[in-house]
Amino acid sequence: MTQAINHQRKPGDMAVFLISCLHPNYAGWVEHQAAHLDWLHAQVEAGALLASGPPRRDGVRTAFLIAKAEDEKAVRDWIAGDPYMVHGLTEELTITAWDPIFGAFAGESSLAGVSYEDLRRQILARFADRDPGLRLQAARPSLAAAPCDRAAHCHCVRTASGHLALVGDDLAGGFLPMG
């Protein structure tokens, strides 16, 4: 049975958010670092913070966080408790709702539990109206993603068995084997 992909959450479900910000004030950053680390640790323990850390590069102190909350307002209210925020040491705060479909955080996704086959089929179908090659892939999962060498002149895709298939809007989503 195919499960429909639905990125909508039910009331009370927690969403995942990507958060980034800068800490340009070095003196303030150092002064409040211990309190900030304690706050981060408490948020991990509470289950609100999934991950946090800086990028692996020198320069401006940047922070990345992955957090769970009901909505963006809840994230803003939550992050306001970070000592760096309390003391006005954060700039360029960005908060982005994220649905981690694959990987380490997939269990937090709105699609947790949907089989890979259903995910693949429905994701390809969602974008098929924009790309005839994807429409064919959605209909025939055995097709490889790589276009053939004639793709500049027609919509060709190479099947997993190495055959070419011509795809075009005039084929109403079907395909014409080419050899």
Domain of 103, CATH number, reads 3.30.70.1060
173 pLDDT tier (thresholds 50, 70, 90): very low
Residue with tokens 């809007």: 169
Q: How many domains does the chain have?
A: 2
59 pLDDT tier (thresholds 50, 70, 90): confident
- Considering the domain architecture, whether residues 125 and 76 belong to the same structural domain is answered as no
> Is 2 inside any structural domain?
no
The tokens for 116 are: 């890979």
Structural domain range at position 171: 116-177
Lowest mean pLDDT among 47-51, 101-105, 129-133: 129-133
pTM (2 decimals)?
0.65
Confirm if 98 and 17 have CB atoms less than 8 A apart: yes
Lowest mean pLDDT among 12-21, 74-83, 84-93, 159-168: 159-168
- Considering the domain architecture, whether residues 96 and 32 belong to the same structural domain is answered as yes
Q: Write a three-state SS string for 138-164.
A: HHCCCEEEEECCCCCCCEEEEECCCCE
Task: Tell me the mean pLDDT in the region 103-127.
Answer: 86
